[in-house]
Structure 1
């Protein structure tokens, strides 16, 4: 994906599409042109993950397929911005599923 494509499908990374935020960055809900819903994980600029580690992660994730893991749809590397695009799975957070409501 290009950064422009990700910007379009997330409505310019709108706060209305923000699903969550963590130590690695923010996750936004997006919709591809074919109607498929995706989760776009925009990694923090200047984060600890380098170019080689990012590429290695993309290669590894794209080869792993399991019914309990979301699938990697694609990725974006644009200047200093890195993003991962996953299938969107509507559900509560992992923390909620492990620990319940707090």
Structure 2
């Protein structure tokens, strides 16, 4: 698995990862969602730990499947729907703060005589 890890460290763009794993992709989908695809791939990797004694082929196949899955998440969807990044998750609802909470957070005013 060491060789695979060294190879992956040299990759930086979503296109490089997809090409490395020989995954067919639509450039338009990747162009719009490249960071989201890589982040989702990272999330899938964290959820699917590889055994330390995994062979290079086993590790390569697992990574290929996870990256393909991450890419496919965005083929029929969008970054807004998938909510990979916190900014999209936070945008789901309107956040409100009460006037009382704002007042409580302000330092107390001292009356000047």
What TM-score does the superposition give when structure 2 sets the normalisation length? 0.27
Which structure's relative contact order is higher, taking Cα pairs within 8 Å and 6+ residues apart? Answer: 2
Between structures 1 and 2, the one with greater helix share: 2
Between structures 1 and 2, the one with greater strand share: 1
* Structure possessing the higher radius of gyration over alpha carbons: 2
